[in-house]
Amino acid sequence: MSKQALDPIPQGNLNLHERQIPRYIAVEGSIGAGKTSLAKRLAESFGYHTLLEGAETNPFLERFYHNRRQSALAAQLFFLFQRAQQLGDLRQNDLFEELRIADFLIEKDRLFASVNLDDEEMKLYDTVYQQLTIDAPTPDLVIYLQAPADILMQRIQQRGIEAEQQIKYDYLEQLNEAYSQFFHYYDEAPLLIVNATQIDLLNNEQQYLQFVDYLLNIRTGRHYFNTTFFPEPKI
């Protein structure tokens, strides 16, 4: 389900006016993977609207990072209601009239819940989740940014968000494992898995243009974008 974007911004030698761009793209990845920054850059390139999760508006998040066990359920339910509302508004406004790039999948909410909640809390969460996500729209392309926990930790420390400085290495490893399991079986939409360890899609123009060119050729299936796309220069 793809259509040419309205008034896209040409970049480098890519003529986006003549390319078929997915109407609804979701960028996913663990904390620190760079999903929001990439979503914003793609939105600027394609002339799309963004749909961002707004973690900073969650009043329970800072408490959660200080004490995961105590505040996990409240933080998860806030995110669930927030994301369900965003996607509900998106459908009401007619997904097929608005061209969007999101920095989350609704399924990611349950992925985080499975890491953060105990069995009884998970039962309650699932009861609410099943009621709220029945009619969630499916993206035309999902981009999964993949990076090891040590790289994620470095990026979290570098961007300096105060509440995030409480995040532990083992928590990032748990999230990475949950993401790996989830995307191993994911087949709801075309999937592009990106090795985000050495690829810099925000500051390296050549890599970004090659990435955009690659994703515009995806129609179905599972695909990978990694450092093999950038061979070492010959001496």
What is the distance between the alpha carbons of residues 111 and 181, in angstroms, rounded to a whole number? 10
Q: Which comes out higher in pLDDT, residue 90 or 139?
A: 139
CATH code for the domain of 115? 3.40.50.300
Domain count, the chain: 1
Look at residue 125 and tell me if it is in a domain.
Answer: yes
Render pLDDT for 111-138 as a digit per residue (tens, 0 to 9): 999 999 999 999 999 999 888 866 778 8
pTM as predicted:
0.88
Cβ-defined contacts of 110-119 (< 8 Å, 24+)? 111/175, 111/178, 111/179, 111/182, 112/76, 112/79, 112/175, 112/178, 113/76, 113/80, 114/178, 115/171, 115/174, 115/175, 115/178, 116/64, 116/68, 116/72, 116/75, 116/76, 117/72, 117/73, 117/76
Look at residue 106 and tell me if it is in a domain.
Answer: yes
Render pLDDT for 176-206 as a digit per residue (tens, 0 to 9): 999 999 999 999 999 999 999 888 899 899 8
Look at residue 118 and tell me if it is in a domain.
Answer: yes
Structure-token pair, residue 208: 């970004």
**pLDDT at position 20:** 80
Q: What is the mean pLDDT of the chain?
A: 86
What is the span of the domain harbouring residue 39? Answer: 2-11+24-229
Render pLDDT for 58-117 as a digit per residue (tens, 0 to 9): 999 999 998 888 999 999 999 999 988 887 777 766 655 567 899 999 899 999 999 999
Look at residue 16 and tell me if it is in a domain.
Answer: no
Judge whether 103 counts as a catalytic residue: yes
Look at residue 124 and tell me if it is in a domain.
Answer: yes
Look at residue 108 and tell me if it is in a domain.
Answer: yes
Which one of the listed residues 89, 103, 118, 119 is annotated catalytic?
A: 103
Look at residue 163 and tell me if it is in a domain.
Answer: yes
Look at residue 57 and tell me if it is in a domain.
Answer: yes
